Amino acid sequence: RDPRFALHGPPSHPEQGLENEWIGEAKVSGLARPGGDITTDEAPGEVMGEWFHADIEQVVFTGLNADATMLSIQTWTPQGGLNTIERA
């Protein structure tokens, strides 16, 4: 099984003319490792699902800068820390 995953936040689409109110979008990506079966005391021996451990490799938040004049892309990685890029 390919262990890569990407979890995207729900996209939002502001009304025309209110683009500066856009709350932005987020994505978390990394590797998911199996963590074992999920069981309960109410149903001993019955597998209810499977746990996973998430090794986060990158977090990205895309939004607008404080003046709502530029696109702001914030990225975080364990190796590089937090970085911000702004562009028109």
pLDDT the model gives residue 13:
83
Mean pLDDT of 33-41: 93
User: How many Å apart are CA 68 and CA 23, to the nearest integer?
Assistant: 11
User: How many Å apart are CA 59 and CA 31, to the nearest integer?
Assistant: 13
List 60's β-bridge partners, or say none. Answer: 27, 75
What mean pLDDT value characterizes the chain?
94
Whether residue 16 is predicted with pLDDT greater than 90 in this model: the reply is no
Residue 24 confidence class, pLDDT cut points 50, 70, 90:
very high
User: How many Å apart are CA 64 and CA 84, to the nearest integer?
Assistant: 11
Whether residue 82 is predicted with pLDDT greater than 90 in this model: the reply is yes
Identify whether the C-beta of residue 12 lies closer than 8 Å to the C-beta of residue 23.
yes
Mean pLDDT of 57-65: 96
Identify residue 7 by its one-letter amino acid code.
L
